[in-house]
Amino acid sequence: METLSSENRAALQDEKPAKAQAYIDDRGDGPPPQRPAARTAPEGPDDVPQASSKPDTPALATRDTVGRILLALGKRLSTLAIALVAILVALVTWQQYVMAPWTRDGTVRVQVANVAPQISGQINHVRVVDNQFVHRGDVLYTIEAFDFEVAQRTGLATVQQRAADLQVKEVQSDRRQHLSNLATTPEEQQTFAGNAVQAKAALDAAQQQLAQAEINLRRTKVLSPVNGYVTNLLMRVGDFARAGSSNISIIDADSFWIDGYFEETKMAGICVGDRAEAKLMGYSQPIIGHVGTVTRGISTSNAAPGSQGLPNVDPIFTWVRLAQRVPVRVFIDTVPAGVPLVSGMTATVTVRPAAESDHRGWLDRMRRDVLDQLSELFREPVARANCLPVFTPQRAPTETLPAETAPRAISPEQINPGLAPGMILSPRIR
């Protein structure tokens, strides 16, 4: 084979790229991959390549390894911290739900005055409407008073008659007591004295009947015994009111309280006087109060006797024990503005120790609550001393009805002045 000269080799190298480019242009596949140009020998001292500085390979590998270890350790520590926080939240939630003294089973209660007339008669005027606020002593309705006015006038006339009879008989008896044996006898003196006593008794009876008639006349106006709201008003003019039968109800606005029905497992944390917060459904602001009393007894079905008088004990499963609920009465101290008190509304009641300060920040209260709840996880709940005193303090009655009193008896001389002058006076000339 003939050896190619340097000029021929150069011509062939220039021809190959041109042919390849023409072939590619015909196919339209784009430029072929370029091969790296062959490194040519340096032609001068300036073209001598510099020695490359390579990094320290063992040190770089060590830093990469430490970084990967720290990253993996950080991920594991983060996972562990999240797991610990989740466990802590679960424990606090469990403790709050199971052992803390709170309940969703709370009810707003109130005293209701069932007003009944003390006399019977037809209603002729109703002065209130449903849900109206009334004050103590306001007239609710009136009863037809004609019959009672007649009874009052009849009683007054009877008293006047009995007083006149007594006046005459007392003077006659007094006159007989001063006569000699020639003009009267002991028997006659006793008769006139007895007539005077009987006349006095008849006057006393007539005065009591008059007092009863006057009281009945006043009772034709039925008054409100408390400050409160008329509720469920169904009566109307023309109805017949019967004595002793309630026909109007008034909610006592001064007697609202809240009953919280706590499970017996939570009673160890409740003491009389503890602060209580009650949240009504639909209102975020709580009602503030304090524990007033704790019910000392609830009904039990096992106490009912059977057909033979023996105790009837219900069978239970030892692995299922439902906690009984004990009513706790909460006296209301403060009601937020805009929160209505309606008897029968449900409330969530939470009891806190009375010594707990309300001036602490929310962060301090949360920390204290969490620590207390966590500590109770590892020990049994311990009841505080003197939580339920033997003599539970009660509120004094706020409302009392005025008692009816009979009027003072009037003397015959006041009823019929000058009817029977003394026996020593001369007869009057008319």
Residue-wise pLDDT for 248-265, tens only, equals: 999 999 999 999 999 988
**In the predicted model, what is the mean pLDDT of residues 284-307?**
86
For residue 131, what pLDDT is reported?
94
Q: How far is the C-alpha of 193 from the C-alpha of 169, rounded, in Å? A: 8
Residue-wise pLDDT for 352-361, tens only, equals: 876 554 555 6
Q: Is the pLDDT of residue 152 over 90?
A: yes
Residue-wise pLDDT for 10-69, tens only, equals: 555 555 555 555 544 555 544 555 554 444 444 444 544 454 455 557 777 787 888 888
For residue 357, what pLDDT is reported?
46
DSSP per-residue codes, 214-261? HHHHHTTEEE-SSSEEEES----TTPEE-TT---EEEEETT--EEEEE
Asked if 143 contacts 130 with a C-beta cutoff of 8 angstroms, the reply is no
**In the predicted model, what is the mean pLDDT of residues 230-259?**
95
CATH classification (class only), 112-249: mainly beta
Q: Give the start-to-end residue ranges of the domains of the chain.
A: 101-111+253-296+323-394, 112-249
The CATH fold assigned to 101-111+253-296+323-394 is Elongation Factor Tu (Ef-tu); domain 3 (2.40.30)
Q: Give the pLDDT band of residue 413 (cuts 50, 70, 90).
A: confident
For residue 379, what pLDDT is reported?
63
pTM as predicted:
0.67
Q: Which residues are CB-contacts of 12 (< 8 A; sequence separation ≥ 6)? A: 4
Domains 101-111+253-296+323-394 and 112-249 share a fold: no
Q: How far is the C-alpha of 33 from the C-alpha of 17, rounded, in Å? A: 12
Q: Give the pLDDT band of residue 232 (cuts 50, 70, 90).
A: very high
**In the predicted model, what is the mean pLDDT of residues 272-281?**
92
Q: Which of 183-187, 342-346, 382-386 is the least confident region?
A: 382-386
